[in-house]
């Protein structure tokens, strides 16, 4: 892996994105990009200048041809509707009939009010419009939706609608909303079909309300309206709408789709050499992730809804995912208005919420619009990152077997060893798939190199300096910086990994490699720098590190629990709190988890343990120490328990092999005498 190799991969992805058209926000385009990502994971990028020249020309020509097509330009405006009193933005911007129907319907539906305020602007910003200049929210080339999620109404995921309790009034998956459509004359001869309430212009400046309990259609004639409105305010008539364009427009839209797919095929065919032997596992990982996402699309959680057809998630109120998505919208809008200082500020002067996820969400908003296709693509690669770590610790067959178990079955879910958990977390907007994925990538890069040389013995001469490819070390440092930025609770394990890697490199006199690793990790300094510049305080990561919701038991609690424990004061509140925290980490009946922790301890102190396994054991124990103080359930502990399980398997395998070997150097003897 070299710098040029990394740049070539990024170049292939960039050409594909341009060819498809940014943002990539349709299921067909998302699937095409997923296939290209699988091909890259299973192959290598060609280096010939002629191939790159042909790919560049093809991408430019096909993109130019697609952009030149006379696609219908439907100006669309949209927003969640909340009525907070007379004189707001909605009343000023919407036609009298439309606003009156929304207001009356809202008051009738929520007679006691709601815990949300009306938006400051009539039409909400949409992530689909980053590379457009829309009049209202965005420009569409077609229209078909049956719900607010299928519409991809990004305003739903605004912090303004962070409701999650019955007394809040609103239900996040059923928020009232409206849309405005300015239809071009190219759609004359087509049909508009809808269910719900539509406002059709009448001669003059008025609007006629046309309500359909069942789907009804209307032909778009030469005298068709310039603008029309539709509202979803009556739960008895949920809004659904489909635009059936004329045949000529359908043909043009289909041609645009074909040109985008052709660009991906040409770029991939010219630049990616797929290794068929490597293809099954990345393909299986991506398919399993998409199938899991499909299964979750039928899951109904309070305030959460994932629509697989539109690629849009309505995120839960009261959870981090909604916060990150709302921040990302504000950041992208600030950047589009040229206010880069506010965009980089990330909505907070000093980080309270986890810092890194909001920036990843902002990047996804730019590249993938209001969909979460970017999250799905990364989550599809997550099992491969775990497989890379397992290949360092275990033989190929063992690693692949566990990889299949992780993908397909919940057999080891008690250790968090189940892909379903990570896909669901990704769809709900949490940062763990990214933070843990970055950490696994760094683990694989560093542990694989630590396993190349045996740990130095006392008194042995230092080997001669060795020339390294610096790129993997830089990427490992960068991945660790990303992991800590997204999930600061990974900082102790990161510190252990960096310390051991640096010590190993310095012992072998690879000073340049150690410096490269440090440079890769250096972006982590941007977090305290942000807090100092914007907030005027020195905070390494977030100000939420010591709040009681996160820091469940403090170090002083453990110290103060010693005396009550020795004097058998079982009702002491501090002792009870510490006892509950330890039970939340690993309950007395969870023997399988206790064995995994013991295995990590043995891997640290036992003899004849490979350096890579001993390093992982130290990392795991450091992260278990975090769980003794901070939240340890569910997503907070998935990674550390999965790694604990891998240590248990690795140690059991080594014990089974070496304990049968003759002589005094068996592993079991070493463990017994350590």
Secondary structure string (H, E, C) spanning 86-143: CCCHHHHHCCHHHHHHHHHHHHHHCCCCCCCCCCCCCCCCCHHHCCCCCCCCEEECCC
Strands 227-232 and 305-307 come out as unpaired
Start-to-end CA span in the chain (Å): 39
pLDDT number for residue 468: 59
Q: Are 75 and 181 in contact (CB under 8 A)?
A: yes
Q: For 529, which DSSP code?
A: H
pLDDT number for residue 461: 46
Q: Are 263 and 59 in contact (CB under 8 A)?
A: yes
Residues 455-472, mean pLDDT to the nearest whole number: 57
Residues 644-654, mean pLDDT to the nearest whole number: 94
pLDDT score of 52 more than 90: yes
pLDDT grade for 450, boundaries at 50, 70 and 90? confident
User: What phi-psi label fits residue 147: left (phi over 0), alpha (psi between -120 and 50 degrees) or beta?
Assistant: beta
pLDDT score of 193 more than 70: yes
pLDDT score of 300 more than 90: no
Q: Are 480 and 497 in contact (CB under 8 A)?
A: yes
Q: Are 650 and 451 in contact (CB under 8 A)?
A: no
Residues 41-69, mean pLDDT to the nearest whole number: 93
pLDDT grade for 417, boundaries at 50, 70 and 90? very high
pLDDT score of 326 more than 90: yes
Judged by DSSP in three states, 460 sits in: coil
pLDDT score of 457 more than 80: no
pLDDT grade for 659, boundaries at 50, 70 and 90? low
Q: Which is nearest to 387 in space by CA: 599, 34, 646? A: 646
- pLDDT over 70, % of the chain: 94
Element (H, E) at 361: helix 356-368
pLDDT number for residue 277: 93
pLDDT score of 657 more than 80: no
Sequence-distant (≥ 6) Cβ neighbours of residue 470 within 8 angstroms: 512, 513, 516
pLDDT score of 537 more than 90: yes
Residues 553-561, mean pLDDT to the nearest whole number: 91
pLDDT score of 208 more than 80: yes
pLDDT number for residue 231: 96
pLDDT number for residue 452: 65
Question: Is 22 exposed, middle or buried, given 0-12, 13-18 or 19+ CB atoms closer than 10 A?
Answer: middle
Q: Which is nearest to 545 in space by CA: 629, 654, 449? A: 629
pLDDT score of 674 more than 50: no
pLDDT grade for 304, boundaries at 50, 70 and 90? confident
Residues 183-191, mean pLDDT to the nearest whole number: 92
**DSSP per residue, 287-298:** HHHHHHHHHHTT
pLDDT number for residue 50: 93
pLDDT number for residue 117: 87
Q: Which is nearest to 145 in space by CA: 75, 230, 221? A: 230
pLDDT score of 459 more than 60: no
User: What phi-psi label fits residue 11: left (phi over 0), alpha (psi between -120 and 50 degrees) or beta?
Assistant: alpha
Segments making up each domain of the chain, as ranges: 1-70+248-278, 74-244, 563-674
Tell me the pLDDT tens digit for each residue of 21-38: 999 999 999 999 999 999
> What is the average pLDDT score of the chain?
91
Residues 502-506, mean pLDDT to the nearest whole number: 93
pTM of the predicted model as reported, rounded to 2 decimal places: 0.93
pLDDT score of 55 more than 80: yes
Ranges 48-57, 198-207, 580-589, 650-659: which has the least confidence: 650-659
Alpha-carbon gap, residue 36 to 666, rounded angstroms: 47
pLDDT grade for 168, boundaries at 50, 70 and 90? confident
Residues 231-236, mean pLDDT to the nearest whole number: 91
Ranges 16-25, 177-186, 250-259, 452-461: which has the least confidence: 452-461
pLDDT grade for 465, boundaries at 50, 70 and 90? very low
pLDDT grade for 236, boundaries at 50, 70 and 90? confident
Counting every residue written for the chain, the total comes to 674
């Amino acid at each position: 892996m070299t710098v040029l190799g990394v740049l070539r991969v990024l170049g292939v992805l960039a050409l594909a994105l341009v060819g498809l058209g940014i943002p990539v926000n349709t299921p067909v385009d998302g699937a095409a990009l997923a296939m290209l990502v699988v091909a890259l994971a299973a192959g290598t990028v060609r280096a010939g200048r002629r191939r790159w020249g042909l790919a560049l020309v093809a991408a430019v020509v096909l993109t130019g041809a697609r952009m030149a097509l006379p696609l219908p330009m439907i100006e669309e405006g949209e927003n969640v509707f909340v009525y907070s009193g007379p004189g707001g933005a909605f009343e000023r911007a919407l036609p009298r009939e439309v606003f009156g129907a929304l207001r009356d319907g809202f008051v009738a539906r929520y007679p006691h009010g709601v815990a949300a305020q009306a938006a400051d602007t009539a039409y909400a910003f949409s992530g689909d419009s980053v590379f457009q200049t829309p009049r209202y929210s965005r420009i569409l080339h077609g229209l078909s939706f049956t719900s607010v999620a299928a519409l991809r109404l990004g305003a739903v995921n605004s912090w303004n609608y962070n409701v999650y309790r019955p007394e809040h009034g609103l239900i996040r998956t059923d928020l009232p909303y409206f849309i405005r459509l300015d239809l071009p004359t190219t759609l004359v001869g087509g049909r508009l079909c809808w269910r719900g309430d539509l406002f059709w212009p009448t001669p003059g400046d008025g609007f006629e309300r046309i309500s359909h309990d069942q789907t009804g259609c209307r032909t778009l004639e030469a005298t068709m309206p310039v603008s029309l409105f539709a509202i979803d305010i009556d739960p008895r008539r949920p809004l659904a709408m489909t635009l059936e364009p004329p045949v000529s427009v359908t043909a043009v839209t289909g041609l645009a789709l074909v040109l985008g797919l052709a660009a991906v095929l040409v770029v991939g065919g010219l630049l990616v050499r797929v290794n068929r032997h490597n293809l099954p596992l990345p393909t299986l990982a991506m398919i399993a992730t998409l199938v899991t996402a499909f299964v979750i699309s039928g899951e109904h959680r309070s305030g959460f809804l994932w629509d697989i057809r539109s690629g849009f998630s309505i995120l839960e109120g009261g959870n981090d995912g909604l916060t990150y998505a709302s921040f990302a919208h504000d950041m992208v809008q600030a950047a589009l208005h040229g206010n880069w200082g506010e965009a980089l500020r990330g909505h907070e002067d000093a980080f309270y919420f986890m810092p890194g996820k909001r920036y990843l969400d902002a990047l996804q908003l730019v590249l993938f619009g209001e969909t979460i296709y970017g999250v799905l693509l990364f989550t599809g690669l997550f099992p491969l990152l775990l497989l890379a770590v397992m290949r360092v610790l275990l033989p190929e067959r063992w690693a692949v077997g566990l990889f299949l178990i992780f993908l397909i079955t919940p057999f080891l879910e008690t250790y968090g060893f189940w892909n379903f958990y990570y896909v669901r977390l990704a769809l709900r907007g949490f940062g763990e798939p990214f933070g843990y994925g970055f950490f696994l990538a760094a683990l694989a890069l560093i542990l694989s190199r630590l396993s190349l040389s045996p740990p130095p013995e006392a008194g042995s001469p230092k080997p001669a300096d060795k020339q390294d490819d610096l790129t993997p070390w830089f990427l490992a440092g960068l991945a660790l910086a990303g992991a800590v930025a997204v999930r600061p609770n990974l900082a102790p394990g990161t510190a252990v990994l960096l310390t051991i890697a640096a010590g190993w490199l310095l012992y072998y006199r690879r000073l340049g490699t150690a410096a490269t690793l440090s440079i890769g990790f250096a972006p982590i300094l941007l977090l305290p720098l942000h807090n100092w510049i914007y907030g005027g305080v020195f905070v390494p990561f977030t100000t939420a590190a010591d709040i009681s919701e996160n820091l469940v038991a403090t170090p002083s609690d453990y110290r103060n629990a010693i005396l009550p424990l020795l004097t058998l004061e079982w009702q002491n509140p501090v002792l009870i709190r510490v006892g509950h925290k330890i039970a939340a980490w690993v309950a007395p009946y969870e023997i399988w988890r206790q064995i995994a922790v013991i295995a990590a301890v043995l891997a640290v102190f036992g003899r004849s343990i490979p350096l890579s396994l001993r390093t992982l054991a130290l990392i795991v124990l450091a992260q278990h120490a975090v769980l003794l103080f901070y939240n340890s359930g569910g997503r907070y502990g998935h990674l550390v328990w999965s790694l604990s399980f891998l240590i248990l398997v690795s140690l059991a395998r080594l014990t089974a092999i070496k304990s049968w070997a003759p002589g005094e150097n068996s592993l079991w003897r070493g463990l017994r005498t350590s």
